[in-house]
Amino acid sequence: MASDYRKFYIDGAFVDPIEARPLGVINPATEQVFATISLGSAQDVDRAVAAARTAFETFSQTTRDERLALLERMLEIYKRRYEDMAQAISQEMGSPIARARDSQAFAGQGHLEALIESFKAFAFDEKRGTTVVTHEPVGVVALITPWNWPMNQIMCKVAPALAAGCTMVLKPSEIAPISGMVFAEIMHEAGVPKGVFNLVNGTGPDVGAAMSSHPDIDMVSFTGSTRAGTDVARNAAATVKRVAQELGGKSANIVLPDADLEQAVSQGVLGCFGNTGQSCDAPTRMLVPANKHDAALEIARKTALAVVTGDPRDEATELGPLVSDVQFNKVQALIEAGIAEGATLVAGGPGKPDGLNAGYFVKPTVFGNVQPGMRIEREEIFGPVLAIIPYETVEQAIAIANDTPYGLAAYVQGTDMAEARRVARRLRAGAIQINYPDWDLFAPFGGYKQSGNGREYADFGLRDFMEIKGIIGYGD
C-alpha cells in the first residue's frame, strides 16, 4: 500500500494543497510513522467548496437512476478494494486485522448496500390533496468524520448525501486518514462527477472550523466528541446551517434479574471491549442485581482475562492498541481515578499488558462496586474499561441508566421479553438493544441529549440530507 497521501481530492482530481504542511500518520501498534498526509487550510476548503457549489447546480438535477448507478459502481469497486481498506484501517487505528475485515471494512460495504436498497424504494413525492410534499437535496454539505469507525462514518454520510443529490466536502480524522484516501480513490474510479465529492485533510480547528462556518455550505454532518460537536454548532450558527451530530456516549447495559447471568455478563464484557473500547455506543456501564453482583464480577474477570491482546497483524488478536498516546494517557488517568475513588479492580488496571512495551496497548479492565457519581461511571473513557454497578430494584436501574448527559445507546438483557421491552421503552437513548441482537443496518442510529441530533443508517440518513418542500395548489 502506498505511503504518500499528501494530495487532496478536489474537483475530480488529486491535487496538491495550497501550502505544503506534511503530517506523519502513526501506526499505534508500533508508534512509528507509516504514511504521510497533508494538513489543509481554509484556502483549501474554499477551493473544495467552490467546486462543490458549482457541481450542485447539475448534480442536484440528476435522476434517481443516475445516482443509483453511481452508488452501484461505488459498491462494485469497494468490494474489489476491500482488503486494501481493511489493511489501511488496521494500520491507521490499530484494529486487529480480523476485526478490520469483518467489522470495520464491512461497515462501509454494509451501509452502502443498505442505502442502495432503501434508496430504490424511497418516495421523493407525497400527494396530500392538492398539495405535493417533495424531498430535495439540502445543498453543499460538510462531512466531518472520526477515527474510531472511519469507513462506517464516511459511508453513513457520503452515500446518503450522494443519493439525495448533494455535493460535499469530506474531512476524515487526521489521526486515521488513510482509509479516507483509499475511499477517494474508489470514488474517482467510480466516475463521480467533478466537484460532487471533495476531500480535504486537516485538523478540526483549521479545516473543520473553516467548513462548519463556511457561508457556501448548507449543512454540516459531524461525528466525534461532544466537546468538538459544540464547537461545530457554534461555528454553524452564524449562517443558520443545518447541523447533524453523532457525539459521545456512556451507554448502560441493564442485566435484569431473570437474565442468564453467565451469557449476559460475558457478552457484555466483550461488547464493551470491542474496537478496544473505542466506540461511542459501547455498553460501558453494566448494571447487575446487587444479590448477583459478586457472581457477575467473577464472570467478568474470567472473560476479561481470556481476551487476546496483541499485534493487530495476528489473526488471533482480539484487542489492539488505543489509537494514540493522547488516548492512552486519558484512559490510564481514568483507570487510576477508578482505583482512587474506591471501585473494586476486578481485572486489568494501570500500565501496559506484559510483553507489549511498544504501542498504545492497555489492559482490558473491569471495575466492580462502581457507584453513581464516580468518574468512571460518568465520563466517556473510550477504552476497554467496564464499570459494573449493583442495583436493588429495576426502577433504580432505570434511573441510574438515565442519569447521564448522554443518550446514544442502551442495552437490556432478560428472558421475560415483555419486561425487557418495558424497560427498553423507559430508557432515554436513541438505540436500545435487547439481548445482544445482530447489527441492524436499517435501524436508526443517533442520540438523545448530549449524544447529538439527527439519525443515520439507510433511509433515516437519506432524509437528513434533504429539504422538505410543500407545493400547495399543485392540483390533482
Q: Give catalytic residues, as residue numbers.
A: 246, 280
Say how many C-beta atoms besides its own lie within 10 A of residue 259's C-beta. Answer: 22
Sequence-distant (6+) residues with CB within 8 A of 200 are 8, 10, 40, 44, 45, 48, 169, 170, 171, 207
Among the listed residues 453, 462, 444, 441, the one whose alpha carbon sits nearest the alpha carbon of residue 124: 462
Q: Which residue has the cell 467548513?
A: 211
Between CA 462 and CA 476 the distance in angstroms is: 28
Phi-psi region of 345 (alpha: psi -120 to 50; beta: other; left: phi over 0): beta
Sequence-distant (6+) residues with CB within 8 A of 50 are 216
Between CA 109 and CA 435 the distance in angstroms is: 25
Q: Which residue has the cell 443558520?
A: 240
Per the CB < 8 A criterion, the answer to whether 171 and 145 are in contact is: yes
Which strand (E) or helix (H) includes residue 143? strand 140-144
Between CA 391 and CA 370 the distance in angstroms is: 10
Q: How would you classify the pairing of strands 242-246 and 13-15?
A: unpaired
Which strand (E) or helix (H) includes residue 261? helix 261-273
Residue type, 448: Y
Between CA 70 and CA 40 the distance in angstroms is: 28
Among the listed residues 365, 413, 144, 110, the one whose alpha carbon sits nearest the alpha carbon of residue 252: 413
Among the listed residues 49, 56, 12, the one whose alpha carbon sits nearest the alpha carbon of residue 465: 56
DSSP code string of 195-249? TTEEE----IIIIIHHHHT-TT--EEEEES-HHHHHHHHHHHHTTT-EEEEE---
